[in-house]
Amino acid sequence: MQNRTKALNLLGLCERAGKMVSGVDIVLASLKSQKVKVVILANDSHADTCGKVTRVAKQNDVTVIDDFSSDEISHAIGKNRKVLGITDTGFGKALIQKIHKGV
């Protein structure tokens, strides 16, 4: 549970550092231009959204993390969002490490 909290705190830090894009359309566009390193997709997102984002992420060989609810994501970054794209490699790797340690 502690790693989960650390991962969410890292999302907030990433947002404040300006190393994140959010919102479905912006994340999809950033994926296509290969700016996004990791996608965070709320596990309570609409099926169409999940399918669209996951498909484009796979095409661009980008990891999708769907371990958090939209409430958790929104609380972590201070905005109501269901889809986030991390644009910094370091933040992306750190987040993946924290999540996989928690599993």
Q: pLDDT (tens digit, 9 = 90+) per residue, 14-46?
A: 999 999 999 999 999 999 999 999 999 999 999
Average pLDDT over residues 46-61: 96
Q: What is the DSSP annotation of 21-79? A: EESHHHHHHHHHTT--SEEEE-TTS-HHHHHHHHHHHHHTT-EEE--S-HHHHHHHHTS
pLDDT score recorded for residue 85: 98
The model carries a pTM of 0.94
By residue range, what is the domain housing residue 39?
A: 2-102
CATH code of 48's domain: 3.30.1330.30
